[in-house]
Structure 1
Amino acid sequence: MERYDFHIIDIGSTYTKQRLFRNSELVATVQSPTTVKNVYSGIKNGLDLMKESLDEEKIEAEFVLSSSSAAGGLRMVAIGYMMRVTAKAAKEVAMNSGSKILEILSNEDPADFRVQVLKEISPDIILLAGGTDGGDEKSIIENAELIVQSETNAVVVIAGNLNAQRKVAKILKAGNINHIRVPNIMPTIHELRVKEAREAIHMEFIKEITKAEGLNALQQVITNDKIIPTPGAVLMAAELLAKGTYKTEGIGELVIVDLGGATTDIHSVIPQMEELDAEERGLVVTNEKQMSYRTVEGNLGLRISAVGIIDAVDSRIILEKRNLNTAEMVHEFEEYCEMVEENPSHLASNEREELFDTLLAETAVEVALKRHAGRYASEADAFKGYNTGMPIGRDLRNVDLVIGVGGIFSHNDEEKSKAIIREALKDRNMSLLPKNPKIIIDKDYLLFAAGNIMEQDKDYAMEVLKRKFLAEK
Structure 2
Amino acid sequence: MSDIRIFIDFGSTFTKAVAFDLDKEALLARVQAPSTVDTDVSLGLREALDRLGETVPVGDEDIRRAVACSSAAGGLRMVCIGLVPEYTTEAGRLAALGAGAKIVGTFSYEMTRDEQEELAALAPDIVLLTGGTDGGNKKTILHNARMLSELQNGVKNVIVAGNKSARNEIEALFAGTRQNVVYTKNVMPEFGRLALDPVNEKIRELFISRITDAKGISRVREMIGGVAMPTPSAVLEAAKLIADGARGAPGLGELLLVDVGGATTDVYSVARGAPTKEGAAVAGLPEPYAKRTVEGDLGLFHNLDTLSGIAAQAEDLYDDRKAAFEAKVEKLRSARSIPEDADLTECQLTLSQLAVKTAVDRHAGTVKLVVTTSGEFWVQRGKDLTQVKTVIGAGGPVVFSADPRRVLAGAVYRGDAPHILKPKAPRFYLDSRYILFAVGLLAQSDPAKALRIIKKYLQEI
Query: TM (normalized to structure 2)?
Result: 0.86
Please tell me the residue identity of whatever aligns with 2:4: D
Residue 373 (str. 1) matches residue 376 (str. 2): no
Q: Name the SS for the 1:252 alignment partner.
A: coil
Distance in 1 of aligned mates of 2:371 and 2:73? 44
Residue pair 2:386, 2:413 contacting (<8 A) in 1 also: no
Residue pair 2:70, 2:230 contacting (<8 A) in 1 also: yes
Residue 328 of structure 1 is aligned with which of 323, 326, 331?
A: 323
Q: Name the SS for the 2:291 alignment partner.
A: strand
Residue 212 of structure 2 is aligned with which of 198, 209, 213?
A: 209
Deviation at 1:256, TM superposition (A): 0.1
Per-residue deviation, residues 313-342 of structure 1 (Å, max 9, x unmatched):
1x4235669x996143133034346546xx
Deviation at 1:462, TM superposition (A): 1.9
Residue 462 (str. 1) matches residue 448 (str. 2): no
Task: Name 2:308's counterpart in structure 1.
Answer: 310
Residue 356 of structure 1 is aligned with which of 347, 364, 367?
A: 347
Q: Name the SS for the 2:62 alignment partner.
A: strand
Distance in 2 of aligned mates of 1:465 and 1:352? 35
Q: Name the SS for the 2:412 alignment partner.
A: helix
Label 1:392 to 1:89 Cα distance change in 2 as closer, same or farther (>3 A). closer
Label 1:423 to 1:198 Cα distance change in 2 as closer, same or farther (>3 A). closer
Please tell me the residue identity of whatever aligns with 1:209: T
Q: How does 1:384-423 map to 2 (within 5 A)?
A: 387=376, 390-413=379-402, 416-423=403-410
Residue pair 1:260, 1:302 contacting (<8 A) in 2 also: yes
Distance in 2 of aligned mates of 1:211 and 1:138? 33
Q: Name the SS for the 2:159 alignment partner.
A: strand
Residue 175 of structure 2 is aligned with which of 150, 173, 176?
A: 173
Residue 45 of structure 1 is aligned with which of 24, 41, 47?
A: 47
Larger displacement relative to structure 2 (187-196 or 78-87):
187-196
Deviation at 1:144, TM superposition (A): 1.4
Taking only the aligned residue pairs, the percentage that are identical comes to 31
Q: Name the SS for the 2:78 alignment partner.
A: strand
Residue pair 1:79, 1:128 contacting (<8 A) in 2 also: yes
Distance in 1 of aligned mates of 2:441 and 2:460? 22
Residue 185 (str. 1) matches residue 191 (str. 2): no
Per-residue deviation, residues 200-233 of structure 1 (Å, max 9, x unmatched):
32233333333445x334322333x333111101
Deviation at 1:388, TM superposition (A): 6.1
Label 1:460 to 1:386 Cα distance change in 2 as closer, same or farther (>3 A). farther
Distance in 2 of aligned mates of 1:331 and 1:195? 45
Label 1:15 to 1:411 Cα distance change in 2 as closer, same or farther (>3 A). farther
Task: Name 1:442's counterpart in structure 2.
Answer: 431
Task: Name 2:266's counterpart in structure 1.
Answer: 265
Alignment length (residue pairs): 448
Deviation at 1:137, TM superposition (A): 1.8
Q: Name the SS for the 2:16 alignment partner.
A: strand
Which runs of 5 or more structure 1 residues have no equivalent in the other structure? 274-279
Per-residue deviation, residues 347-379 of structure 1 (Å, max 9, x unmatched):
535333333322221111110000001123164
Query: TM (normalized to structure 1)?
Result: 0.84
Task: Name 1:236's counterpart in structure 2.
Answer: 237
Q: Name the SS for the 2:81 alignment partner.
A: strand
Q: Name the SS for the 1:326 alignment partner.
A: helix
Q: Name the SS for the 2:185 alignment partner.
A: coil
Task: Name 2:34's counterpart in structure 1.
Answer: 33
Per-residue deviation, residues 127-148 of structure 1 (Å, max 9, x unmatched):
1112222332222111112334
Distance in 2 of aligned mates of 1:381 and 1:392? 18
Label 1:444 to 1:13 Cα distance change in 2 as closer, same or farther (>3 A). same
Please tell me the residue identity of whatever aligns with 1:208: I
Larger displacement relative to structure 2 (149-158 or 239-248):
149-158
Please tell me the residue identity of whatever aligns with 1:84: E
Residue 420 of structure 2 is aligned with which of 418, 422, 431?
A: 431
Larger displacement relative to structure 2 (69-78 or 259-268):
69-78
Label 1:192 to 1:362 Cα distance change in 2 as closer, same or farther (>3 A). same
Distance in 1 of aligned mates of 2:253 and 2:320? 41
Label 1:96 to 1:24 Cα distance change in 2 as closer, same or farther (>3 A). farther
Please tell me the residue identity of whatever aligns with 1:126: V
Q: Name the SS for the 1:71 alignment partner.
A: helix
Q: Name the SS for the 1:20 alignment partner.
A: strand
Q: Name the SS for the 1:396 alignment partner.
A: coil
Deviation at 1:409, TM superposition (A): 2.7
Q: How does 1:138-177 map to 2 (within 5 A)?
A: 138-148=139-149, 153-154=154-155, 155-173=157-175, 176-177=178-179
Task: Name 1:21's counterpart in structure 2.
Answer: 20
Deviation at 1:59, TM superposition (A): 6.9
Label 1:381 to 1:28 Cα distance change in 2 as closer, same or farther (>3 A). farther
